Structure formats: C-alpha cells, structure tokens
Structure 1
Amino acid sequence: MVRTDWIAPRRGQANVTQMHYARQGHITEEMHYVAQRENLPPELIRDEVARGRLIIPANINHPNLEPMAIGIATQCKVNANIGASPNSSSLQDEVEKLQLAVKYGADTVMDLSTGGGNLDEIRTAIIQASPVPIGTVPIYQAMESVHGNIETLTPDDFLHIIATQAQQGVDYMTIHAGILIEHLPLVRDRITGIVSRGGGILARWMLHHHEQNPLYTHFRDIIEICKRYDVSFSLGDSLRPGCLHDATDAAQLAELKTLGQLTRQAWEHDVQVMVEGPGHVPMDQIDDNVKKQMQECCEAPFYVLGPLVTDIAAGYDHISSAIGAALAGWSGAAMLCYVTPKEHLGLPNAEDVRSGLIAYKIAAHAADIARHRPGARDRDDAMSHARYTFDWNKQFELALDPERAKEYHDETLPADIYKTAEFCSMCGPKFCPMQTKMDADALSELEKFLAQETAAAL
C-alpha cells in the first residue's frame, strides 16, 4: 500500500486534511509525491494547497491511492464516471469499469451507483481496487436507502450516508449544498429546468417540506466529517444549465454565489474544496463562466462537465463536449468530467468509456499546451519526429490510445515489414510529401541558387 506508513501517525487526530498540514507549513508525503509527478517544487504544492487553489483528494482510509492533484498550477485532469444501476451491472462489472477507466487515463473516477446490488460492498470493492481518487454523490445512496421516497429522508439520514462513505475511504464527494429554496423560482423560464439528479432530488425535498436545503443548513456537520477523514468537497452545481438556452442564467449564477460562500466556510476549517461547473454553454460564454467561478469561489479548483457547445450532437456528445472542455481548460478549469457518446441516450458500454476518455485526454492535453505548461508539448514534438522518420512503433507508443493507433494502421498494412515502411496507406509509396528530405546540403545548394538569381535580377 502506497500510503500505509504515511497515514499511521495521523489516525485519531481531529483534522487530517492536506490543507490543514499545508497551512501549518508542513509538506506531507502526498505533497512530495504530487510534486514529483507534476515536476514542480514541493513548496509550491504546499502553498497552493494552503491557499485552496489546489487539492489532493486523499482519504486516510484509501491507503493504496497514488496521490494526485487538481488545480490551476498542475496539469489539467480528467474524471470518468462509473456506477451500478438498478437495471444493470454488478460488483465485478464496476471493478472492471474502474480498471478500464484507469487504463485509458482517468485521473479520478466517480462511483455514481444508484442500485443493482449492495452499494456499500460495491463502493468498498472499487476503493480497494483503485489507485486513483474515488468520488461519490452521497445523495444517490440516500435515495436508494428509502426506495426513492425522498420526502421521508431526514438531515440525519444524509449525514449518516456521508459519514459511512467517508469511513469507507471515499476521497471526494459531490455535496449539493448550494441549491437554496429561494433559487427554485429562478428556473421558471428555463427550457430544461433542473438537470442535475442531486439538484432535482433536493428540489423535490424542499418543495415537499417548504424547508431549506438540509445539506446547506447542516454544512458545518458535513465539514466535521470531512476533517476527520480528509474528504474533499466537490460542491455540486445543482442548477447547471442543461441546454444552451439556459446557460449563464440567474439560477446558475445565484447558486454559484452560494458555492463561493460555502467554499470559504469549508476553508475556515481547513477542508479542501473544488467546485463543479456547467454542462451546456455556448463557446463564447465559456471563458466568462470560468472567470466568474474563479471570482466567486476565490480560485478554488473548477471541475466542469464538458461543457457541451451544441445541443444537437446526440450520439457524438463526447465530441461536442470535448470542444467545450478544451476551451474551459484553456481558461483555467482544473478538471474535466468526461462525456461519452451515450450521453443523453443510455448507459455507456466499455467502448463508450474508451471513446469518452480519449476525447477528454485530448481536450486536457490541448488545454495544457495552450496554457504553455512546461514540458506539455514534449510528447507532441517527439511524435512529430517519429512521423518524419517513419518510426511507426514509436508513433504507436506516443499516441494517447496506442492500441487504437496500431489497429488503424494495421487495417491496411498489417505485415511487420510495413512497420519500417516510409509511407502509410493514405499516400502510398510514391506520394508521401515527407519523403522530400530537406537535408542541409540540398538546402545549401538551393540558397546559393536563390542568391545568384537575386543578384542577376538586380
């Protein structure tokens, strides 16, 4: 276990968060580990965590975790969603989905299980098998515990589920504490209303009881749980826009202001926070959305779903959303939640998970290049050299999805001899422009000729 020895001295302490240690000036083993992964000074990691601009989701009950960081100072990250439903999947299925997500580059994985088995057993198995941080949405299990009768849930029921998941080792939790009863009339003019499952559940609860959101009124109690296990908040955007028409409206911005208040309240107790962001936003509004979040939430890491930049790409929403994700990452979003081709249509299969993850790895990498992160383009330049020298095996190795790259090449040129051929099946052996070698001697002779031509013209 990577962290067993690191965690042992912390057990039993009242506050074991990475932010708590950072604000005491201490560089934890997790901070050292992250600094090495990111090729950054450990002191910078500590300072960013202390400031709240970087989080290291690392529950003390997740000892096999390989620590990673989410924040503007580090590489843009990608999350993948998995989860059992009442209609499909099992414990083994979910562990296999986790392994697939990690294989294709997920930096974190969210377990969004809503049924289909014992949720505590499924979650425990996922955590024990996962080297990456695991996130959850506790309200889903709360719903399952009352067989969908949300009106019967009490604040103590919510807190019990959150505490149970924290004890199991969940590293970060989506807590929908920002949607308030006074926000609900603001969705009246929307086309798609409330599209967040967690937000919809709490809206129903508030409408039924005519009481304030219990996650908001008991936010201090949730903070105490997070302090005890180092669970990071992922403050949920319950009123995120579900279509372009609803983007950046009064409801979304009212909740964002509340999320800023909750962020500062959590920071008062040294609890780590990231803030979740919108789902459907026109391209021209994305940069402004990121800047608004940074302003309202004091630069807490921004974790965005997409956003999708058009509403008519059914079956291809991984592409529509990856466009928005790249722009959001360029503007400063710290983590991107992947979208699969099945978004809005159905439950994704293994191939959908692969397609969604690779699309988002592309988006995150493009954002890092655009932000001029040191070394971000090294792999691209290496790929370019491999292409120019027709080193096909090196090209496969450097690709974000090496198996797919090799598969596509070998569809038409499968024999090993073609792994050293100076052409592909697109141009063939006679028309590849990169066979035109611009060597030093040829260019020198050309320059002499051009100089003579210029002199003659004068």
Structure 2
Amino acid sequence: MFTTYNRFPFVGKRFFIFHKGASMNVTQMHRARKGEITEAMQTVAASEQLEPEFVRSEVARGRMVITANINHKNLVPMGIGINARCKVNANIGNSKLSSGCREELEKLHMAIRYGADTVMDLSTGEDINRIRTAIIENSPVPIGTVPMYQAVEEVEDPLDLSARKILDVIEEQARQGVDYMTVHCGILRRHIPMAIGRTTGIVSRGGSLMAQWMQKHQKENPIFDHYDELLEICKAYDVTLSLGDSLRPGCLADASDEAQLSELEVLGQLCKRAWEQDVQVMIEGPGHVPIDQIEFNVRKQQELCHEAPFYVLGPLVTDIAPGYDHITGAIGGALAAYYGVSMLCYVTPKEHLGLPNAEDVRNGIIAFKIAAHSANIARKFPGVRDRDDEMSRARFAFDWQKQFALSLDPERARQYRMESMPEELRNDCSTEHCSMCGPKFCSMNISHQIMNADAANAAK
C-alpha cells in the first residue's frame, strides 16, 4: 500500500480545551451520531475508497475509529475498523538504559517512511514529555501512548500511584495532542489469581504494575473505579481509548486462558460505557497465540466487544525464534487481519531481547506491512491489489526502476539487485534477467521468445 499521509491535507479547526468537571464533547463519534460528516471522515473516505456517509455510520456505530486529537495540529486523519484496510502500528520510545530524543525522532521518521499508519511512544526513561512533544510535532500519523509509564516515572514507588496522578498524566498527554491511549482498566482484583499459575504470568508492563498495586492496597483497579472521569477527558480532546489487555498471553501455553478471556469480557463492558458517552474505543488483544487459535480469538473479541476495532500485538505463533520474532509475528498478523483484526502492532527482531533501533523499526514495519497487505488482498478491499498487478507487469517487462518504485522497501530492493549483479552490470537497469537465472535460464525472457515466435507464426 502506498503511504497516503501527504495526499489528503486536513485543515480542521484545532484548539486547547482544559478539562474542568463536565466537558464539552468534540469526539468524531459524537459528531457522527449527530449526523455530521466531518472533514476527518471525508479524508478517511477518500483514502479508503468508501462513501463518506458509510464512514460516518461506521464511526457512529463504534465499528470504526478516527484517532484524531483536536490538538494534534499536523495530523492527517485515518480510519481503523473492520471495514477499512488493516493498519500497522510501530512502537518506539526510549528506556532508562538507552536512547534519547534524537534517536526517537529517527525511529519516527523511519516508521513513517516505511508506511507505519500509527506510532506509539512507549518511552519509560528520561525527558518523556520533551520526547513526546517532539514526536507529535513531527508526526502526520496518529500517536498513541501508555500513560501509566509516565505516571510511574513521576513517583518514587509505583505502589504510591493514585487515580488522581494517573488521570493528571492522561490529561497532560491529551493536551499535548496524543490521539489514542492504552489504559489498563480491565484487569480487576478477581483476575489476579487466574494469572498466578500461568507459565509467564502477567507480561503487560502496565498490567503487572496495576496488579501489584491492587495486591498491595487490597483495592480495586483505580482507573476502573474512576472510569467516568477518564471518559470526560477523552470527550474534551477526542482521545480514542485503546483498552489494554493486561492479561494478554506472553507464551503459547497461556493463550486463550481464563485470565485473558475474563478480562476481555470486562473490556467489552467498558467499551459500551464509553460509547454511551460518545467516546471512541479500540480493544487490544494478544500476544502469543498458536495458529489454530487465532480465528477463535478474533471471533470472541467481536462477540464480547460488539465489533469494536481489534488491535493486536503480533500475534506470535511460536516462542522459539528470538531475533526473528518480526517473522513469527507477521505470520500470525496476516491470519488475524484476514479474520477481521483492524490494526496490527508490529514486532521487531529485538522483541524479548532489547530496545529496537531504527533498522529494527524498518524490519518490523516491512514485515507487518506485508502481513496487513496480504490480508487486505484476501479481503478484497477496493484497489488494494492494483499495485501488485502493476508490479507483475513491470517484472515481465524487465522494468527494474518501476519494480523498485513499487516495492514496499525500494532501497532494499535496489540494493539487493545491484549487489547480486556483476560489477559491470550493477548500474545497468536494462538487462532482461537477474543474477539468479542469468540470460540463458530466465523463464520470463524465454516466455517473451515463445510469445514472439507465436505471434510471428500467426502472422504468416
């Protein structure tokens, strides 16, 4: 798929709203339910080759979200939902051990260059606010965060967190222009015993912190208890909630277990409560899932969460490929997208091993763009295969420059072509063969000869 962020400029009115008690409602869902087709909806309709009224109806129903904070000034809106092309998110962000603002902006530019539809800033180290501000100012694609990470950084002990602190951080990020936020409000006290016997326990960072807090204080999840206040902030800035799966499986052995599905049921209930306030919602999903359980997981989410957009990490279909988990994740992602997942969160080769660098971001995005695009072809979205057909014609015509231009990663395609050719032919894009077959065994060259001979015989 071609990147579309520079094709549909959005010039909607954007301004700051400071949350004081009950807020005015500026969400795309609220406006859609009033019958309004917004500029953002028109942009999404043009990008997806859909009718604007259909986009409006999907947003009103909750089956599509347009993640567009009113304070993200240079954003080009895009739609996430089952009736839109499957999107790909790229995670970036620093840690206490590695990376700063310059490195994170490099990752952002790399992500956008290779087609990330959204980017999440998962910074947990120094200068979180400065890094996030720079990312938002430089990003035409939606930006997501996990507010819990910043809240934890701002207290001495994570167990000292309060609902007020978390909500203050959420509102601060909303004012900055964050378009969607992962919130861990579906994990409840009753779920913790379900996770204790798991092979890998609770692998969500935010989920594990929340579980530890509940266990220490013997109180319910504070964001669950203060959910209505969270919704007020979302209404004021049009922040889309990405309801986090704190109990997602971290290995195949834990997939589709009681803990995961019990939390999913709560997320479905929270989704309905958000919709009652016209707040947009996505639901996050696993994780590590065997191939034979992927369809079940997608169908279960659609059932329990009322067809709200499903946003999954991977899923990874095997646990034994550290260093190659962008591949194991893309395999699961292609299947998940085919069954109806709306957005895939990429996995890089560094998953489980370390903080990804810019090259890891590149490899992760390309792997998951392949997965999403393959599913979009199978689901027969309008025009989605046109680029593949054009590539096939360019291959048969030995039009190397056009093949490079149509590639998901033109630089890599050009590099591999040049490196594999003899030195005297490296810059020659007129050759009618590659280095694998050479001129004598090129099947397409032979096919041209067959067709030319056939045409000559027919002309006699």
TM-score band by shorter chain is over 0.9
Correspondent of 1:338 among 343, 346, 350:
346
Compute the displacement of 1:150 (Å): 1.3
- Is structure 2 residue 18 aligned with structure 1 residue 6? no
Residue 37 of structure 1: CA displacement? 1.1
Which secondary structure state, in structure 1, belongs to the residue aligned with residue 212 of structure 2?
helix
Of residues 89, 96, 100 in structure 2, which corresponds to 1:90? 100
- Distance of 1:270 and 1:286 partners within structure 2: 30
2:152 corresponds to which of 135, 140, 143: 143
Of residues 86, 89, 97, the one that matches 1:76 is 86
439 and 61 in structure 1: CA distance in 2 versus 1, 3 angstrom threshold: same
Q: Secondary structure at the match of 1:418?
A: coil
Deviation at 1:10, TM superposition (A): 9.4
Query: 1:176 corresponds to which residue?
Result: 184
Kindly state the Cα deviation for residue 417 of structure 1 after the two structures are TM-superposed: 5.8
Larger Rg: 1
> Partners in 2 of 1:263 and 1:304 — Cα distance?
16
For residues 401-420 of structure 1, what are the structure 2 equivalents within 5 Å?
401-413=409-421, 415=425, 418-420=428-430
Amino acid corresponding to residue 45 of structure 1 in structure 2: V
Q: Summarize the alignment of residues 180-259 of structure 1 with structure 2, pairs less than 5 Å apart.
A: 180-259=188-267
SS in 2 for 1:6: coil
Return closer, same or farther for 1:322/1:96 CA change in 2, 3 Å cut-off. Answer: same
1:6 and 1:29 in contact (8 A); partners too = no
Q: In angstroms, what is the RMSD of aligned CA positions?
A: 1.9
For 1:72-104, what per-residue CA distance to the aligned partner results, in whole angstroms no more than 9, with x for missing partners? Answer: 111110000111111121122212211111111
Provide the residue aligned with 2:3 in structure 1.
none
Distance 1:431 1:138, change over 3 A: same
How much does 1:442 deviate? 1.3
For residues 354-433 of structure 1, what are the structure 2 equivalents within 5 Å?
354-413=362-421, 415=425, 418-433=428-443
CA distance in 1, matches of 2:17, 2:278: 15
Change (3 A) 1:5 1:304: closer
Q: Give, in angstroms, the shift of residue 440 of structure 1.
A: 7.7
For each residue in 1:107-142, what CA deviation from the matched residue of structure 2 results, as whole angstroms up to 9, or x when unmatched?
0000001112x2112111111111000000000001
Aligned to 1:439: 451
- The more displaced of 373-382 and 44-53 is 373-382
1:54 counterpart = 2:64 = yes
Amino acid at match of 1:18: Q
| Partner of residue 63, structure 1 | 73
1:450 is aligned to none
Q: 2:269 is paired with a residue of what secondary structure?
A: helix
CA distance in structure 2 between the partners assigned to 1:417 and 1:169 by the alignment: 46
Q: Secondary structure at the match of 2:438?
A: coil
Match of 2:170 in 1: 162
Instruction: Give 1:44's aligned residue.
Output: 54
For 1:282 and 1:291, locate their aligned partners in 2 and report how far apart those are by CA, in whole Å. 15
Contact 1:67 1:132 in 2 (8 A): yes
**312, 323, 326: which is aligned to 1:318?**
326
Moved more, 94-103 or 231-240: 94-103
- How far off is 1:401 after superposition? 0.3
- Any gaps of 5 or more consecutive residues in structure 1? 447-458
CA contact (8 A) 1:23 1:50 kept: yes
TM-score (structure 1 length as normaliser) = 0.94
Is 2:311 the counterpart of 1:303?
yes
Match in the other structure for 2:140? 131
Structure 1 residue corresponding to 2:44, chosen from 34, 40, 46: 34
Distance 1:376 1:146 in 2: 48
Task: Name the SS of the counterpart of 1:174 in structure 2.
Answer: strand
Q: Using the TM superposition, give the Cα deviation of residue 441 of structure 1 relative to its aligned residue in structure 2, in angstroms.
A: 6.7
SS at match of 1:157: helix
Residue in 2 that maps onto 1:451 = none
Letter in 1 for 2:133: T
Deviation at 1:370, TM superposition (A): 1.0
With over 3 angstroms needed to count, the CA separation of the structure-2 counterparts of 1:9 and 1:81, relative to structure 1, is: closer
2:115 to 105, 108, 120: 105
| Counterpart contact for 1:227–1:271, Cα < 8 Å | yes
